[in-house]
Amino acid sequence: MQDGLKDQLEDLAICGGTPAFETPLHVGAPNIGDRDRLRERFDDIFDRRCLTNGGPYVQEFEERVAKIAGVPHCIATCNGTLALEIAIKALGLSGEVIVPSFTFVATAHALQWQEITPVFCDIDPDTFNIDPNRVAEMITPRTTGILGVHLWGRPCNTQMLVEVARERNLKLLYDASHAFGCTHRGRAIGSFGDAEVFSFHATKFINTIEGGAILTKNDELAEKARLMRNFGFVTYDNVTHVGTNGKMNELSAAMGLTSLDHMPHFIETNRANYWSYRKGLADIPGLSVISYDEREECNYQYVVVEVDEDEAGIDRDRIVQILAAERVLARRYFYPGCHRMEPYRSYFPHAGLLLPVTERQSGRIFSLPTGTAVGEEEIEKVCRIVATAVKHSDALGQRLDKRMIAGTTAGYRHRVA
């Protein structure tokens, strides 16, 4: 192994070789931006002694996000989950809401937290997004809304979803946590449905450390969400709604503004990384990288690989395990699906029967590290590891199976009942 690339089976760390990376490569390592500019903003915030409660930085952040999303209202929050919870409450959702299981668990939790039943709907195998053809089948007299997720920044079929929602008089909300800066049919994500929610968590493409936002064109809904974010206060002593504390603070907004200053650079880096991975993995049998519509704006924040075990001769979990030994912490986003997590697994033990595509696809995908923390050199190494693993899949399969029997890879086999 002269060039640090792992071409031989014995080079792999899982077979006793030295790990390819000294420090771990994470999915979602934060993008930071210009620290001097960030420090300037922090200093200004401390000089003003206004740390939160809708100060000038939060206002500026809201204005800039609203402009990018092409809507009049942005309500910035302390995180994306609270933004979802407030949007759900402000929209008056109750009873049951139709939602994909193939998402981060916060999408379902935001409903369950308010004792609204998330009714899990299967996904389209090509897009991995909620299958609009399945939505109508999930509607009952208790259904009040649809909560779509633009997974990995790839838009839902908004045309069909809006039709179902209109026809059946349902509210339509989107969890757009992955999709800031993306467009669909030339229109910015953030402007679809009754409202959309972004997350600006540190792992997301644009970050406020912790943060989120509700976007809407609806004046009344915006007003309600704004009040709910701040305990329902209209004026100092006048409360008109049940509320919570969902405010974004000024330091977070400063981080967000600094992040926004670098948005084109972050996109360019992600895009270059994405194509480096695409090239590096292109000739490996059984592996494909999910694609983005190049005619649209995309943030390329997720490099997601789909593994066809029959063709590759190795399954997704083994590849993730082999990468982990090299300190490449690929993630199974999203596995095993919300319906296999508590409390949903106990509430709806048979949900999987209606989710064949979710069950299948969640066993086939993994996400690779990208963002400004990763460059071409790292990506070349990662791709070579994966190529070597697939090339030697037979031999690896035997070795790893033996280890599994020896119990050294506990919790490693997927589909644990």
Ligand X SMILES: *Cc1c(COP(=O)(O)O)cnc(C)c1O
Chain contacts with ligand X (rule: CB under 6 A): 79-81, 103-104, 106-107, 149, 175, 177-178, 199, 201, 212
State the nearest-atom distance from the C-beta of 367 to ligand X, in Å.
Answer: 11
Distant-in-sequence, close-in-space partners of 159: CB < 8 Å, separation ≥ 6:
none
- Label the pairing between strands 96-100 and 117-121: parallel
Rounded Cα–Cα distance for residues 199 and 80 (Å):
4
Helix (H, G, I), strand (E, B) or coil at 382: helix
Of residues 107 and 269, the one with the C-beta less far from ligand X: 107
Of residues 355 and 385, the one with the C-beta less far from ligand X: 355
- Angle 374-375-378 (CA atoms, 0-180°, nearest 5)? 80
State the nearest-atom distance from the C-beta of 208 to ligand X, in Å.
Answer: 9
State the nearest-atom distance from the C-beta of 271 to ligand X, in Å.
Answer: 20
Q: For residue 206, how many C-alpha atoms fall within 13 Å in the half-sphere facing its CB?
A: 30
State the nearest-atom distance from the C-beta of 281 to ligand X, in Å.
Answer: 23
Of residues 80 and 369, the one with the C-beta less far from ligand X: 80
State the nearest-atom distance from the C-beta of 80 to ligand X, in Å.
Answer: 3
State the nearest-atom distance from the C-beta of 412 to ligand X, in Å.
Answer: 25
Q: For residue 314, how many C-alpha atoms fall within 13 Å in the half-sphere facing its CB?
A: 26
Of residues 104 and 192, the one with the C-beta less far from ligand X: 104
Helix (H, G, I), strand (E, B) or coil at 2: coil
Nearest partner of 131 among 107, 108, 151, judged by Cα = 151
Q: What is the DSSP string of 166-225?
A: HHTT-EEEEE-TT-TT-EETTEETTSSSSEEEEE--TTSSS--SS-EEEEES-HHHHHHH
Distant-in-sequence, close-in-space partners of 39: CB < 8 Å, separation ≥ 6:
none
State the nearest-atom distance from the C-beta of 9 to ligand X, in Å.
Answer: 36
Of residues 149 and 328, the one with the C-beta less far from ligand X: 149
Q: Using CB atoms within 10 Å of the CB of residue 323, give its burial: 0 to 12 exposed, 13 to 18 middle, 19+ buried.
A: buried
Q: Select the residue whose beta carbon is closest to ligand X and give its number.
A: 80
State the nearest-atom distance from the C-beta of 177 to ligand X, in Å.
Answer: 3
Helix (H, G, I), strand (E, B) or coil at 294: coil
Of residues 191 and 208, the one with the C-beta less far from ligand X: 208
State the nearest-atom distance from the C-beta of 83 to ligand X, in Å.
Answer: 7
How many C-beta atoms lie closer than 10 Å to residue 35's C-beta? 10
- Given a contact cutoff of 8 angstroms between Cβ atoms, the answer to whether 145 and 294 are in contact is no
Of residues 206 and 355, the one with the C-beta less far from ligand X: 206
- Given a contact cutoff of 8 angstroms between Cβ atoms, the answer to whether 144 and 171 are in contact is yes
Radius of gyration of the chain (CA): 22
Of residues 321 and 370, the one with the C-beta less far from ligand X: 370
State the nearest-atom distance from the C-beta of 199 to ligand X, in Å.
Answer: 3
Of residues 21 and 334, the one with the C-beta less far from ligand X: 334
- Angle 31-361-313 (CA atoms, 0-180°, nearest 5)? 100
- Given a contact cutoff of 8 angstroms between Cβ atoms, the answer to whether 228 and 241 are in contact is yes
Of residues 212 and 363, the one with the C-beta less far from ligand X: 212
